[in-house]
Homo-oligomer: A and B are copies of this chain.
């Protein structure tokens, strides 16, 4: 049904605290977080103050940008984080019997009141290696958050990015509908997809639960089964329909439809393209129009689009028009969507001309059926007349790349910077508690993201600063920023006295995302072979420190 459902700024959901999915509990984590917790506790280290960075190493889908999403759910999660007695009993059962009782007493006290979370704003355009979250707190507690935070952010950011990419290819003018619930990876794979596809630029979803939870506009009409559940128009019992303005009543809408059908058949519009249309389809369309005279949208490919679906639709739509209603449109769910949409458009235009029905030529055409970035692009190249796309499987399961690889790395403990080495340089972590800035150039585009040590002076507008690649000494550039944006903001201050950023309603996050995407230099956004965003960089001081630490930690080889 073509109708938005919005319950206040953030849907009916806005009143709730805690995670959207009640299954997101402190036990939604890896077992090793609890074994480590015990080992930290046993060593008396559990309260040591640690800093972890959450980041990804590579943009998904071969692109050069990512949309950050999932933050609100992380904050909801820690806002109510506390193990129940039942959960503690289970943890005890799952650990070796030698674990000491005192630990479980301690677990009872654990919450996130002493944790601080700094994050990029949800819906932002983000790049590899720059922390999306910096999480500080007692090492053992922050460790427990690793798995749920990654789980809540990885898919959210992935599917929001996928939605943004689909929007980019479809263009701003098209209506994009998320139809993926039935193929999603489980129930909240579906609900999450609906939320984050909306964030990434979709207009509506078919998922009723997501509509209710998040205030996302809902769309939906009928399926093939509805069409084939009818046998013929004879079975329609109540054939009457009031006119749109309520002034009159048509006692036999079924006959009115039949009349229009034969007019169309003998008119020039049809070019003699069809004979007898399918009667079960005609019955289904007529019935659906009787139920929703203001919202008549028909799925026209159950039998044959050109020879049955479109003429049947037009007959019903013209009958509705007689009574002052305007039909919404058709949906195509199979076949050559470019060709069929063009044929449908021609037919609608011919009807408008032949029968003098103003606006009929602009009747909306929705296309669905296994769409993805490539097929949207191909449709654009072929030329088509589709106004709205319903996209499911490829969108919500992120078929082209179904996982984003965010990681959560220790960068400092007890004020000591830590580095994670790897034989693969791209996997070496960037140590230290850091601040992150986005530097903008003269034309308003973001130029580079730079990380600095916590106590370094911030980059300043108009002041030249050296930006260095963290691991490649020859890659460096001076930048004179025209605008400087600090990326990590405080979303959970813990016991610090930092001001806490508000979590915005989903619609506002979506708006931020759309604005940030607008702001990017277009060549970063191209679907194929995009220009990389300037390699994420570090300050000269941080660069030197990283390399000092690296040499210190790496073993010296011995050639033999």
* A interface with B by C-beta (< 8 Å): 1, 3, 5, 7, 12, 19-25, 27-36, 38-40, 42-45, 48, 50, 52, 87, 90-91, 93-96, 98, 139, 143, 146-148, 150-152, 154-156, 159, 179, 181-192, 206-209, 211-212, 218-226, 228-231, 235-238, 272, 274-278, 287-288, 290-295, 302-304, 307-308, 334-335, 393, 397-399, 402-406, 408-410, 413, 416, 418-424, 427, 553-558, 560
Contacts and interface: CB of A to CB of B under 8 A. Distances in A.
B187 A304 contact: no
B94 A208 contact: yes
Query: Quick one: which of A32, A185, A211 has the most chain B CB within 10 A?
Result: A185
A223 B182 contact: no
A22 B36 CA distance: 30
Nearest to A431: B228
Contacts of A154: 182-184
B3 A95 contact: yes
Contact of A32 (B221, B237, B404): B221
A151 B94 contact: no
A93 B212 CA distance: 10
10 contacts: A5-B90, A21-B188, A23-B187, A32-B222, A43-B237, A146-B225, A147-B181, A151-B184, A186-B189, A275-B555
Contacts of A427: 334
B5 A35 contact: no
A32 B182 CA distance: 13
B304 A555 contact: yes
Contact of A181 (B28, B206, B420): B28
Nearest to A87: B212
A223 B31 CA distance: 11
Contact of A5 (B40, B93, B220, B302): B93
Contacts of A404: 183
A212 B31 contact: no
A556 B21 CA distance: 52
Nearest to A289: B39
Contact of A31 (B19, B151, B218): B218
A303 B554 contact: yes
A30 B307 contact: no
Given A237-B43, A302-B420, A553-B278, A220 B30 contact: yes
A186 B183 contact: no
Contacts of A24: 187
Contact of A206 (B1, B32, B220, B226): B32
Work out how many copies of this chain go into the complex: 2
Given A21-B188, A31-B218, A303-B553, A36 B223 contact: yes
B276 A555 contact: yes
A419 B278 CA distance: 13
B31 A291 contact: no
Contacts of A209: 23, 25, 27-29
Nearest to A100: B291
B554 A291 contact: no
Query: Quick one: which of A3, A21, A35, A219 has the most chain B CB within 10 A?
Result: A35
A220 B35 contact: yes
Contacts of A182: 30, 146-147, 150-151, 154, 406
A233 to B, nearest CB: 11
Contacts of A3: 94-96
A556 to B, nearest CB: 7
B48 A229 contact: yes
Contacts of A150: 182-183
B39 A226 contact: yes
Contact of A28 (B187, B221, B228, B278): B187
Nearest to A418: B228
A498 to B, nearest CB: 24
B303 A421 contact: yes
A203 to B, nearest CB: 14
Contact of A295 (B96, B303, B402, B424): B96
Contact of A212 (B27, B190, B219, B237): B27
Contacts of A52: 225
A52 to B, nearest CB: 7
Nearest to A242: B98
A305 to B, nearest CB: 9
Given A35-B222, A183-B403, 7 more contacts: A1-B35, A29-B208, A33-B208, A35-B291, A39-B287, A96-B295, A156-B186
Contact of A208 (B34, B39, B413, B420): B34
Contact of A410 (B87, B90, B225, B335): B225
Contacts of A393: 403, 405
Query: Quick one: which of A44, A87, A225, A409 has the most chain B CB within 10 A?
Result: A225
Contact of A94 (B1, B275, B278): B1
A90 B44 CA distance: 52
The 4 nearest A-B residue pairs measured at CB: A31-B220, A32-B220, A150-B182, A39-B291
A506 to B, nearest CB: 16
A294 B96 contact: yes
